Chains A and B, each alone.
Chain A
Amino acid sequence: MVKKYKKINKKIKSNLKVKRSRLGIWIFLEVVLCVILFSFFPESIFAGVGENNVTVITNLTVGNVFPEFTNLTIEDNSSNVALIPNSTKKIYCSGLATDYNGWNDISYGWGEFFDNSNSLYGEEDDNNIHYTNSSCTIDEESMYSAWINCSFDVWYYANYGTWNCTLFANDTKGREGSGDDTIIISSLLALGLPDSINYGEVNLTEVSLENITNVTNYGNVKINLSLSGYGFKPEDGNAMNCTLGSIKNISIEHEKYNLTDSNEGILDLSQFIANYTNLTSFPKVKEFNLDYRQNDTYNEAINSTYWRIYIPAGVSGECMGNIVFGAVQAPED
């Protein structure tokens, strides 16, 4: 009986040994699995028993950044720009866009050029105050930077003064950056006139029919006129020289103008004197106040001037003289 008990006890003990070794394996496996599991986490926390300070490493990766502008210049850093009469002037505006996601992240560039006092970016285009270029070029400069180059065809009647060029750049994620610079558009004094004033055939001691001569403002300032005339050379006191006749000269005061009103039909000498102003040999500035063009579809900056000449006795044949139309900037209102 005792022998049998001892045998059972021995068996239980050996079984217990096996179980213990299996338990050891499981504990080992548990430890290994825990190590594997926690090895996926970063070792970002440092702390020691009894230490007051715990260091935590923080990580942050900045994802997308928007383009930033520097070195924005208009017309190669000129302080001002001159327009061209009756035409357009190409004005160049460029800026260095920097995108720390790489220059090639900049996908689209556009620009607006506008009168700093009378317009804002985002407003509609108007040749006097606002221009838009929606497809500017993007040229690589360095790893993070590209030049955004825009040009604008600016008309002669664009307002003079300080203009702003604002450039925009979009990256491939749709983020937008912008920058701006200013330049002064110079005032432009310009005049458009016909080649001649033809009075036609006029009888002696009669006043010619009215000739209407249009004056066009091809600049961007309001103009007055300074008028003078001569026959053969400046300040000779004549309006015209004729090929035939006993005198051959028409005196300067016989040629007259009216800058505001038309007087149609045939006039006698007294009516002529009453309604028209004498042309002079020396320039005389006359108020004309011809404003510059405002309408983009048609040119309204045109005013008429009205001319007649009296043909005195003693001249004949072909008569020819000179009229000088001088443009002077009119004072600001």
Chain B
Amino acid sequence: MKINKISNYKMVVFAISFILVLTFVSSANIGVSPASIYFKDVLRGGYAEKVVTITVDSIEPTQVTITPRGEILEWVSFEETEFEVSKDNPYYLKIINQPPMDIPNGNYSGFLRVTTSSKGSGVEGQATGIVNAALDLYTEVSITDIEYSSCRAWNFNVQSVEEGDDVPFKVKIYNEGNVRLSPTIKIDIWNQERTEVVKQIEFSEEIVIPTTEKELSINVDSGDLEIGQYWAEITSVECYASETLTFDILEEGALRAQGNLLSVKSPPWIKIGDTTLIEALFENVGEKSVNARFRGEITLGNEIIQILESEISTVGIGDLEAFKFYFTPKKEGRYIITGIVFYDGKRTFEKSTVINVERNGFGVDNLKTIFIYLFLIVLIAYLAYRIKKEQKKNKKRRNMIR
């Protein structure tokens, strides 16, 4: 009986707790960022877009609706006006502004109302108000008739291809101006030794509209390129950006050999006479095992101090190979270690490192030097003394003879 009473009491406490939790748990924590948006210097009849992030603090999908209001109502648009958002899937709302051609210059404003559907539901026999959260996003647009151009280029990319296939180059362009842009992409293809440009391409066919980003794809005919490794310098002329990449022309059906020299490592500071380890780390990221060999040199100023050449090592797919060398500097200074890994008839990008060599402290070597100096000075002084004494004696003897 007592047990039953306790369990009933527990049940009541649990029920109250559950109701309280239900009352205070919020599942509609909606947010929009930024809290206001400003379209600066949009051309009359032009185009501008911005993205705002809409997030809801709820794991389950929440329905969101977008409704514009105000002066901008007629020229603002969205890819979607109704969509679902959840905690793990925020929605990136693209707001597109296309002001009419005949609108006077000036500032125009309005609101975008972001509304959620609620998860609330009615309770039988009771009065319930379902709560809907909404956010009013202030939007301002400044209209101008002054054109300006600006852009940004990044994510340069190229893929190796089999003989006869086009070489695909890619680059991302963002138009930061308020006019359309036809970005010029220049590609200089160099031979493996990077001594000669074997092909040049200029491309400017794609149009990037204001405030948008576009990935440009340029397919270069490889018919005149022999099998082997090439280097490509890709330049975005208007965006003042360039990058050097490497690619291969492969035999039909050939497995791709690809390796990276990840680093050349050594301790940054050592003393004269210390022996240090230099380690070059090579990674096989290709589709077959390769025979790799490291070749490099240690220089001090313009002088080559040591040639570094490893034995040939077989590096499996996905494996790392550390080429190890030892170096004992005899002079102080800043030694530069540079090297390349040669593999499967190809070579990696050059990597380098620095070893700063310091003098030893006041040790045995210094004492030896001081002792030698002192010994020499004493010997010279003694000899000088003896020479002078002998000269005097000789003078006396000569006088005696006379």
Q: Are B33 and A199 in contact (CB under 8 A)?
A: no
Q: Are B377 and A194 in contact (CB under 8 A)?
A: no
A101 and B334 in contact (CB under 8 A), knowing A188-B33, A323-B130?
Answer: yes
Interface check A45, CB cutoff 8 A: no
Interface check A156, CB cutoff 8 A: yes
Task: Report the minimum CB–CB distance from A165 to chain B (whole Å).
Answer: 19
A80: chain B residues within 8 A (beta carbon) = 34
Task: Report the minimum CB–CB distance from B91 to chain A (whole Å).
Answer: 12
B127: chain A residues within 8 A (beta carbon) = 198-200, 202, 208, 240, 250, 309, 311, 319-320
Interface check B4, CB cutoff 8 A: no
Q: Are A140 and B263 in contact (CB under 8 A)?
A: yes
Q: Select from chain B the residue with minimum beta-carbon distance to A240.
A: B127
Q: Are B57 and A144 in contact (CB under 8 A)?
A: no
Interface check A23, CB cutoff 8 A: yes
A143: chain B residues within 8 A (beta carbon) = 336, 338, 351-354
Report the bound CA distance from A26 to B30 in whole Å: 102
Q: Are A37 and B131 in contact (CB under 8 A)?
A: no
For B29, B376, B397, which residue has the most chain A Cβ atoms within 10 angstroms? B29
Q: Are A19 and B135 in contact (CB under 8 A)?
A: no
Q: Are B118 and A218 in contact (CB under 8 A)?
A: no
Task: Report the minimum CB–CB distance from B80 to chain A (whole Å).
Answer: 19
Interface check B25, CB cutoff 8 A: yes
Q: Are A320 and B128 in contact (CB under 8 A)?
A: yes
Q: Are B57 and A318 in contact (CB under 8 A)?
A: no
Q: Are A201 and B126 in contact (CB under 8 A)?
A: yes
Interface footprint category on A: 35 or more
* Contact pick for A197, options B129, B394, B397, CB 8 Å: B129
Interface check B132, CB cutoff 8 A: yes
Q: Are A325 and B354 in contact (CB under 8 A)?
A: no
Interface check B242, CB cutoff 8 A: no
Interface check B312, CB cutoff 8 A: no
Task: Report the minimum CB–CB distance from B134 to chain A (whole Å).
Answer: 4
Q: Are A200 and B134 in contact (CB under 8 A)?
A: no
Q: Select from chain A the residue with minimum beta-carbon distance to B393.
A: A19
Interface check A246, CB cutoff 8 A: no
* Contact pick for A30, options B118, B123, B353, B380, CB 8 Å: B380
Interface check A179, CB cutoff 8 A: no
Q: Select from chain A the residue with minimum beta-carbon distance to B132.
A: A324
Task: Report the minimum CB–CB distance from B56 to chain A (whole Å).
Answer: 8
Task: Report the minimum CB–CB distance from B274 to chain A (whole Å).
Answer: 15
Interface check A247, CB cutoff 8 A: no
B373: chain A residues within 8 A (beta carbon) = 37, 40
B53: chain A residues within 8 A (beta carbon) = 82, 84
Q: Are B332 and A61 in contact (CB under 8 A)?
A: yes
Q: Are B268 and A105 in contact (CB under 8 A)?
A: yes
A16 and B354 in contact (CB under 8 A), knowing A29-B383, A319-B127, A327-B135?
Answer: no
A196 and B128 in contact (CB under 8 A), knowing A19-B390, A27-B387?
Answer: yes
Q: Are B118 and A196 in contact (CB under 8 A)?
A: yes
Interface check B391, CB cutoff 8 A: yes
Q: Are B34 and A82 in contact (CB under 8 A)?
A: yes
Report the bound CA distance from A207 to B139 in whole Å: 41
Q: Are A84 and B33 in contact (CB under 8 A)?
A: yes
Q: Are A186 and B33 in contact (CB under 8 A)?
A: yes
What string of 1s and 0s marks CB contacts (under 8 Å) between A49-75 and chain B?
000000000000101100000000000
Report the bound CA distance from A20 to B387 in whole Å: 10
What string of 1s and 0s marks CB contacts (under 8 Å) between A226-243 and chain B?
100100000000011000
Q: Are A30 and B354 in contact (CB under 8 A)?
A: no
Report the bound CA distance from A61 to B351 in whole Å: 25
Interface check B18, CB cutoff 8 A: no
Q: Are B32 and A173 in contact (CB under 8 A)?
A: no
Q: Are A229 and B119 in contact (CB under 8 A)?
A: no
Interface check A195, CB cutoff 8 A: yes
Interface check B27, CB cutoff 8 A: yes
Interface check B306, CB cutoff 8 A: no
Docked complex: B316-353 residues within 8 A CB-CB of A:
332-334, 336, 338, 351-353
Interface check B31, CB cutoff 8 A: yes
B267: chain A residues within 8 A (beta carbon) = 104
What string of 1s and 0s marks CB contacts (under 8 Å) between B48-79 and chain A?
00001101110000000000000000000000
Interface check A271, CB cutoff 8 A: no
Interface check B124, CB cutoff 8 A: yes
Interface check B355, CB cutoff 8 A: yes
A189: chain B residues within 8 A (beta carbon) = 31-33, 35-36, 135-137
Report the bound CA distance from A193 to B269 in whole Å: 60
Q: Are A323 and B131 in contact (CB under 8 A)?
A: yes
Interface check B266, CB cutoff 8 A: yes
A202: chain B residues within 8 A (beta carbon) = 126-127
Task: Report the minimum CB–CB distance from A42 to chain B (whole Å).
Answer: 13
Docked complex: B83-133 residues within 8 A CB-CB of A:
90, 113, 115, 118-133
* Contact pick for B129, options A13, A196, A218, CB 8 Å: A196
Q: Are B380 and A34 in contact (CB under 8 A)?
A: yes
Docked complex: B117-163 residues within 8 A CB-CB of A:
118-138, 152
Interface check A168, CB cutoff 8 A: no
Docked complex: B348-386 residues within 8 A CB-CB of A:
351-356, 358, 373, 376-377, 379-380, 383-384, 386
A188: chain B residues within 8 A (beta carbon) = 31-35
Q: Are B383 and A33 in contact (CB under 8 A)?
A: yes
Interface check A317, CB cutoff 8 A: yes
Report the bound CA distance from A240 to B35 in whole Å: 31
What string of 1s and 0s marks CB contacts (under 8 Å) between A19-39 and chain B?
110110011011001101100
9 additional contacts, CB 8 Å, given A84-B55, A173-B269? Answer: A101-B268, A186-B35, A191-B29, A193-B28, A195-B120, A196-B120, A311-B127, A317-B125, A320-B128
Closest 3 CB pairs of A and B: A85-B31, A102-B354, A190-B31
List 12 A-B pairs, Cβ < 8 Å.
A19-B390, A19-B394, A20-B394, A83-B33, A84-B31, A104-B267, A143-B338, A186-B33, A221-B35, A320-B130, A321-B129, A326-B136
A: residues with CB less than 8 A from B are 9, 12-13, 15-16, 19-20, 22-23, 26-27, 29-30, 33-34, 36-37, 40, 61, 63-64, 77, 80, 82-87, 100-105, 140, 142-144, 156, 160, 171-173, 186-202, 208, 213-214, 216, 218-219, 221, 226, 229, 239-240, 250, 255, 307, 309, 311, 317-329
